[in-house]
């Protein structure tokens, strides 16, 4: 014979449902559903909730079987019937007289009336205490069930962490591109950002391309033989052929400079010879 948990688990698998699907539809926590399918009813919060959870699970799966209800009653018990005063007195060991029709007499014994009053008060006190305890227990179980369902219905919200914004990198400046082409042979030296990139003679028709971050400096012994472009823009004439020129190029522009001329050495004029036979002029005398 199948157990309660095995019966529910087999029907759930047959319908292709997951425990998470059942939990979402019944609002019963997954850990409680696992305990029910494992017949571990002691893991549930009380017999009252165990019966309620099992019946909700069975209704969701469409199981309406008297045998399952009987198995639930055997495993989990059912709420007891309403307790009468006679049953309470019998459980306490008191003799419960059979009810007999009351015959009203003209005169009642005062002692019998006092005994009856005390007995009725005692029965009412015991019955009231028992019923009050039953109500308190039922309310406590109802609060526990509501709390369990509320916890399942309201899962904790997860806060999404916002990544810190990274500073955008500064835009990279485009490189300085210089093209040097020779119409006729010319000795040339090229320095890019302080580093010598080329030294030698460019032959007629030869072309070289140089790249730098900040500055290109070109020294040539035949300025009229070179055509130079800065980032695709021609510089124009640099000087006559056979002349030395220094060209400095940056992103903003370029300059062309010729070597400074050397200072000419001046020779002193020769002294004129004195006429023959002419005596030199006497030196002036210092006054005494």
Domain layout of the chain by residue ranges: 4-76, 85-97+115-153, 176-257
Q: How far is CA 155 from CA 35, 142, 147, 161, 265, in A?
A: 20, 21, 13, 19, 101
- Residue 7 backbone class (left: φ over 0; alpha: ψ -120 to 50; beta: rest): alpha
Predicted TM-score of the model (pTM): 0.35
Gap between the Cα atoms of 143 and 37, Å rounded: 24
Structure confidence at residue 202 (pLDDT): 92
Residue 159 pLDDT class (50, 70, 90 cuts) = low
| Contact (Cβ atoms closer than 8 angstroms) between residue 149 and residue 49 | no
Structure tokens at 164: 């810190």
* The dihedral sign for the CA sequence 238, 241, 246, 249: positive
Residue 284 has pLDDT above 80, yes or no: no
Measured in residues, the chain has a length of 288
Both tokens of 172, joined, read 């990279």
Fold of 4-76: 434 Repressor (Amino-terminal Domain) (1.10.260)
CB 36 within 8 A of CB 53: yes
* CA 64 to the chain's CA centroid: 48
Confidence of residue 278 (pLDDT cuts 50, 70, 90): very low
Weakest-pLDDT range from 117-131, 235-249, 272-286: 272-286
Q: What pLDDT score does 14 carry?
A: 92
Give me the mean pLDDT over the 137-152 stretch.
73
Residue identified by tokens 């006679």 is 86
Answer with the residue of higher pLDDT: 238 or 282: 238
Residue 218: pLDDT above 80?
Answer: yes
Taking alpha carbons only, the member of 102, 44, 118 closest to residue 76 is 44
CB 61 within 8 A of CB 12: yes
Q: Does residue 237 have a pLDDT over 60?
A: yes
Question: Binning pLDDT at 50, 70 and 90, where does residue 268 land?
Answer: low
Share the mean pLDDT of the chain. Answer: 78
Mapping DSSP to helix (H, G, I), strand (E, B) and coil, where does residue 80 land?
A: coil
pLDDT of residue 149: 60
């Amino acid at each position: 014979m199948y157990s309660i948990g095995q019966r529910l688990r087999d029907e759930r698998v047959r319908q292709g449902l997951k425990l998470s699907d059942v939990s979402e539809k019944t609002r019963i926590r997954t850990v409680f559903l696992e305990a029910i399918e494992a017949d571990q009813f002691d893991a549930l919060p009380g017999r009252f909730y165990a019966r309620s959870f099992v019946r909700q699970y069975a209704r969701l799966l469409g199981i309406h079987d008297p045998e399952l209800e009987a198995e639930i009653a055997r495993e989990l018990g059912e709420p007891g019937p309403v307790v009468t005063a006679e049953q309470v007195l019998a459980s306490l060991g008191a003799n419960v007289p059979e009810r007999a029709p009351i015959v009203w007499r003209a005169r009642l014994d005062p002692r019998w009336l006092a005994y009856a009053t005390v007995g009725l008060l005692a029965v009412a006190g015991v019955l009231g205490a028992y019923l009050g305890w039953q109500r308190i227990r039922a309310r406590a179980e109802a609060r526990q069930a509501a709390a369990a369902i509320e916890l399942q219905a309201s899962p904790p919200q997860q806060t999404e962490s916002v990544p810190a914004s990274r500073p955008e990198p500064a835009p990279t400046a485009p490189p300085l591109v210089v093209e040097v082409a020779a119409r006729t042979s010319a000795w040339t030296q090229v320095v890019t950002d302080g580093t010598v990139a080329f030294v030698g003679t460019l032959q007629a028709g030869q072309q070289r391309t140089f790249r730098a971050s900040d500055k290109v400096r070109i020294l040539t012994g035949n300025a009229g033989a070179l055509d130079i472009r800065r980032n695709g823009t021609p510089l124009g004439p640099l000087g006559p052929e056979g002349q030395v020129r220094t060209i400095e190029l940056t992103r903003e522009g370029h300059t062309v400079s010729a070597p400074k001329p050397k200072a000419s050495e001046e020779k002193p004029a020769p002294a004129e010879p004195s006429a023959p036979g002419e005596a030199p002029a006497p030196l002036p005398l210092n006054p005494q």
